[in-house]
């Protein structure tokens, strides 16, 4: 376990959905430093806290003080995500945050769904 206040570095962090999404704040992003954050949970509860979660990413990443590139991977389409992306695009670039969008589709066993590939 890391000492209190020390950041933890990971390659991929899966952000919680539903009610747990409310626990993801600026302090979370200051402490959990990931190359990729997966934002999932296409439900009305996540949509209600999505903007504050995304703003917390910007505020937390600002505190890192390093030039680590971060990729944000949303797994669902959201009006809130689109608005945040457009309104904060310059800030995202300043902080080295890339939002991954994908027009790729995967077909598997009579089902098709959007997908993206992440390599480390």
CB 38 within 8 A of CB 75: yes
The Cβ of residue 100 has, within 10 Å, a number of other Cβ atoms equal to 13
Residue 98 lies in a domain: yes
Residue numbers in the chain where pLDDT is lower than 70: 1-4, 18, 41-47, 102-104, 114, 116-120
Q: Give the CB-side neighbour count of residue 75, counting CA atoms within 13 A.
A: 16
pLDDT at 98: 94
Pairing outcome for strands 32-39 and 70-74: parallel
Neighbour order of strands in the sheet with 8-15: 8-15, 32-39, 70-74, 97-99
Region of 21 on the Ramachandran plot (φ > 0 left; ψ -120 to 50 alpha; else beta): alpha
**Domains identified in the chain, total number:** 1
pLDDT at 103: 61
Residue 3 lies in a domain: no
Residue 120 lies in a domain: no
Residue 29 lies in a domain: yes
- Tell me how far apart the alpha carbons of residues 40 and 21 are, in angstroms, rounded to a whole number: 10
Residue 119 lies in a domain: no
Tokens of 109: 């066993």
pTM for the full predicted model:
0.81
Residue 45 lies in a domain: yes
Give residue 15's domain range: 8-114
């Amino acid at each position: 376990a890391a000492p209190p206040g020390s950041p933890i570095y990971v390659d991929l962090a899966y952000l919680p959905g539903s009610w747990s999404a409310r626990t993801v704040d600026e302090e979370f992003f200051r402490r959990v430093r990931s190359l990729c954050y997966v934002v999932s949970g296409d439900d009305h509860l996540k949509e209600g806290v999505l903007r504050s979660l995304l703003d917390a990413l910007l505020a937390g990443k600002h505190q890192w003080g390093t030039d680590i590139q971060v990729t944000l991977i949303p797994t669902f389409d959201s009006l809130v995500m689109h608005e945040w992306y457009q309104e904060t695009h310059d800030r995202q670039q300043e902080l080295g945050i890339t939002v991954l969008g994908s027009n790729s589709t995967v077909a598997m066993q009579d089902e098709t769904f959007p997908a993206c590939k992440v390599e480390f």
